[in-house]
Amino acid sequence: LYVTEMEERKSFKYPPYYRIINIDVKHKNPEILYNQAEYLAGELRKHFGDRVIGPEAPLINRIRNYYIKSIMLKFERDSTSVVKAKVIIRDVITQFQTTKLSKGGVVQPDVDPY
């Protein structure tokens, strides 16, 4: 059972073989949230390509009147790719926060959320 689980985790790019960075985008208006999440995912895809999954709504897609969209990124376990990715993600989020589109939105990155 253990061996099967570990093989599946490796083939589907999940920990402990890969690292996951989850980015939650939140806004009170679902239409604005959709545009914000699509923009952010598009900017991330320019740098990371098919490593970007989403945006998609989590199972609980609204908390305290904020709608949520999640964007997931998967990286190899070696530390250099994750360190570079964190810098790029920080730059993309900072750039996003300087646009008019980001008004009223919240972006929360989470490294290794599970």
> Which structural domains are found in the chain, ordered by start?
15-111 (3.30.70.360)
Note the pLDDT of residue 29. 94
Dihedral sign, Cα of residue 14, residue 20, residue 23, residue 24:
positive
How much is the pLDDT for 79?
Answer: 65
Contact 24, 69 (CB under 8 A): yes
pLDDT per position as a tens digit, 77-87: 876 677 888 89
Residue 107 pLDDT level (bands cut at 50, 70, 90): very high
For the stretch 14-69, pLDDT in tens is 888 888 899 999 999 999 999 999 999 999 999 999 989 989 999 999 999 999 99
Torsion of CA 86, 53, 69, 56, to 10 degrees: -170
The pLDDT, as a whole number, for residue 83 is 83
The one-letter amino acid code at 29 reads: N
Please give the helix or strand (H or E) that residue 9 lies within, else none: helix 2-11
* 81 vs 95, higher pLDDT: 95
Q: Identify the pLDDT of residue 102.
A: 83
pTM over 0.75: yes
